[in-house]
A and B are shown apart, each in its own frame.
Chain A
Amino acid sequence: MRIARYALLLSLFLVCAAGPSVAQNVPYERILHSQSEPQSWLTYGGSYSSQQFSRLKQIDKQNVSQLKVAWIYQPARPVANLESSPILADGVMYITEPPSTVTALDVRTGLKLWSYSPPLPEHVVSIGLYATSRGVAILDDTVYIGTADSYLVALAAKNGAVRWRVHVADNAMGYAMTGPPLAVKGKIIVGSAGSEAAVRGFIDAYDAKTGKRLWRLWTTPRPGEPGAETWGIGAPESAGATTWNNGSYDPELNLVYWGTGNPAPDFNDDRRPGDNLYTCSLLAVDPDTGTLKWYFQFSPHENHDWDSDEPAVLFNATIDGKPRKLVGFANRNGFYYVLDRTDGKFITGVPFVKETWAKGLDANGRPILNPDQQPTLGAGTLVYPSITGGVDWTSPSYSPDTGLFYVSVHETGAYFIKRTGNIEPGPPKGIVGGGGIRALAGEQSYGAIRALEATTGKLRWQFKLLAPAWVPVLSTAGGLVFSGTDEGNFFALDADTGKPL
């Protein structure tokens, strides 16, 4: 349903704007300047800055209530979650269907042009995740998908023919790819999931033409490497910091920004004293070499499953009279952060949902912990936010017109429980989590679309939802904010006031 909503939305935008279909060709320069062709959606977040902002304005506050369904595409396999955001280029919409199918749709009619399903083993290991895909990347005449069994596949955009298929990581050990690839300068950059299987995270770059791996950046250190001292006795088996969502890119700084997930085992932290670099961090990486340029760790020594794989939203704004290059980050831990994206320096951070685990952030953005908010044996500890955090993978949106950061939040807590948890050698037999949660009883959780001032995190307005929603947010130059509910509603709000339209 998520996808259906998105598909509908984009199709409505495009019906008038798109010209006749032409051969698919999306060179890097087109993605770089995607703001000049708002009728397209060429990368996961709509642009390299991941703003989820459309410059189309034909649909506005006055006429949005007249939107009608243009077409509906029924995915073939409704068994797993549809979490895909479409790519749209030259009249063709590329979506993914779970677990790892790519489908090309004619945007005018919603009819399927072609579909590709990779060969998958009978038993795909998907520990701590749903075997699904959040979308593809497009570059030149090729579409790229990371599969549930951890292959990267290049398909001809025109007909879905396989150009190449390379093995990224061992699915039997728990590696699985659910996030969309990022296409930058002839490279396809990907991450992987698997922290709950206690794999070691990485970011990879592959040659877009040949599939040859160009570099790999491991996201946890081994003994002797920088950061190993932050793992205590656990360094030899440091695990986690998986990279299961999409990255952002700043072409002027030539930096790719990519979030990392929790350490493993997560709820039982006995064997990993220290900050556990580079878990729950934002990494700034040179895409040419795979070199880590800087990192910012949101949740040192994390043990509530608050991955930091949420999209990093790049924007520019003036702070204290000075123009700054910024990144806005609504973290699962419940804090909204503003960092300087040139060097990762902390600027500000405030809670955007109820949180009970930290008194606040210090001058460097490090959380000041509240006591008694750690997972405990037995009945557990009540902590806000819950395991899904203030927001999870669903993309927020930034509107340069309003200067607001829009995010679909989860207002809920949970009882966090610590149990035994050791990393065993060999393929994982189940979740290596060292605990779990119990959710709150009925009627105590809700969702909301919140509008934060992007430079301060100050709440400007909110629109409440019955249930915490797993739906991204899109803002537009028409002064609108689009999102959806888990109950199946697709809606538009006034971007300035939050009023439903």
Chain B
Amino acid sequence: MNSIRSSWVRAAILAIAALIGSRALAAPGASQESSATKPADQSPGKDLFEQRCSTCHGLDAGGAMGPNIQGIPFRLGADVVKSTIKNGMGGGGMPAFVGQLDDAQIQQIVDYLLTLTRKDAGTVTGDAAKGKEVYASSGCSSCHIIAGEGSDAGPELTNVGGLRGPSYLRNAVLYPGTDLPQARVFLETGGLLDYLFIHVVTKDGRAFDGTRVTEDSFRIVIKDANGKFLSFQKADLRELKKEPGKSVMPSFRAKLSDPQVNDLVAYLASLKGAQ
């Protein structure tokens, strides 16, 4: 193999990212239903994806030569994705599959991609309407935005029900930071986690905690619990600690009853895009 790659990379990269992350980091009692631990789903969309797409996008669509496209139909719209599969993007990148895949097959691939970021389906047992009240009374909007309402210290939740399944959402409420999604894929060599908890101490002794916003080899930017961006040159830091499993978000384990958690999860799972 050549090129940047080597080849196989293409062929394979990835999945483990999501997998290992969820296994290694899961807290006791956390969801044990992540896709990583399940036997392979032999859906036609998965088969097609592995045969035709995984060479460039990785076995789990997490990216290799091509980008991470887990859940991309949700972000861009299924029609855009179907059109891209059909017509390609030109210029030596994404090829056109018109004539090689029919519309039904393309739809199967799109359906499969949608399942990937939900991680695990789980089941909704609560009441979404009550969950909306729990959301409002628990202060969630002081850190999260839904359809334009709220603050942005934490990730926006407007589409979270489309991107994540109920079990994942439950785990995030009870054990924040224990099952972080992949943020960015290095070219064929692993990647970074989203929302990673960072602790830094500057050379003059000041300490800061926050969620990583972005990082390169020389600099890092974090967002603290108040949503404030803090940027650092690594050369100015005495300590830079990355702590998967921790989060600036508090756990709601002791704050909500089981029925309240079920309702909240039902509400979050119902959020599938701004109206």
Contacts and interface: CB of A to CB of B under 8 A. Distances in A.
Interface string A99-135: 1000000000000000000000001101011111000
B95 interface: yes
A178 B3 CA distance: 7
Interface string B23-67: 010000000000000000000000000011011001110101100
A308 B253 CA distance: 53
A392 B192 CA distance: 21
Interface stretch (B7-15, B78-86, B126-134, B256-264): B7-15
Interface in A72-94: 77, 79-81, 83
Interface stretch (B162-170, B210-218, B223-231): B210-218
B10 A80 contact: no
A436 B187 contact: no
Nearest to B13: A439
A459 to B, nearest CB: 19
- Looking at chain A's contact residues, is the secondary structure mostly helix, strand, loop, or mixed? loop
A442 interface: yes
Given A242-B2, A438-B59, A440-B16, A431 B92 contact: no
Contacts of A487: 215-217
B7 A442 contact: no
A320 to B, nearest CB: 36
Nearest to B192: A442
Interface string A424-441: 000000110101111111
Contacts of B89: 79
A12 interface: no
A465 B217 contact: yes
B190 A267 contact: no
Interface string A462-501: 0011111010000000000000011111010000000010
Interface residues of A, number: 71
A305 B9 CA distance: 9
A25 interface: no
B188 interface: yes
B8 A305 contact: yes
Best-surrounded residue of B4, B59, B90, B193 (most CB of chain A within 10 A): B4
Interface in B159-218: 180, 182-183, 185-193, 196, 215-218
B136 interface: no
A467 B216 CA distance: 8
Contacts of B92: 77, 79-80, 98-99, 124, 126, 130-132, 148
Best-surrounded residue of A123, A433, A439, A467 (most CB of chain B within 10 A): A439
Contacts, number: 224
Contact of B189 (A244, A305, A445): A445
Interface string A125-165: 01011111000000000000000100000000000000000
Interface in B88-142: 89-93, 95
Nearest to B196: A443
A410 interface: yes
A388 B52 CA distance: 22
Nearest to B214: A487
Given A79-B91, A244-B2, A443-B244, A387 B21 contact: no
Contact of A193 (B3, B16, B95, B185): B3
Contacts of A441: 16-21, 24, 182, 190, 193
Contacts of B15: 438-439
A196 B3 contact: no
B274 interface: no
Contact of A467 (B8, B21, B58, B186): B186
A386 interface: yes
Interface string A218-241: 000000000000000000000000
A437 B5 CA distance: 12
B7 A178 contact: no
A444 interface: yes
Contacts of B58: 439
A439 B190 contact: yes
Contacts of A410: 189
A196 B7 contact: yes
A417 B4 contact: no
Contact of A128 (B6, B16, B183, B189): B6
A472 B243 CA distance: 32
Given A261-B1, A433-B8, A436-B11, A442 B17 contact: yes
Given A79-B91, A393-B2, A436-B59, 7 more contacts: A124-B92, A129-B1, A309-B2, A436-B54, A441-B182, A443-B244, A466-B217
27 contacts: A80-B91, A128-B2, A128-B6, A129-B7, A132-B3, A193-B1, A195-B7, A244-B1, A244-B2, A261-B2, A305-B1, A305-B9, A386-B9, A386-B188, A386-B189, A417-B12, A431-B55, A437-B13, A438-B60, A439-B9, A439-B12, A439-B17, A441-B16, A441-B24, A442-B180, A443-B244, A464-B217
Interface of A: 77, 79-81, 83, 98-99, 123-124, 126, 128-132, 148, 176, 178, 193, 195-196, 242, 244-245, 261-262, 266-267, 305, 307, 309, 332, 386-389, 392-393, 410, 412, 414-415, 417, 430-431, 433, 435-445, 447, 464-468, 470, 485-489, 491, 500
The 7 closest A-B pairs by CB, nearest first: A436-B12, A445-B190, A79-B91, A487-B216, A442-B193, A441-B20, A129-B2
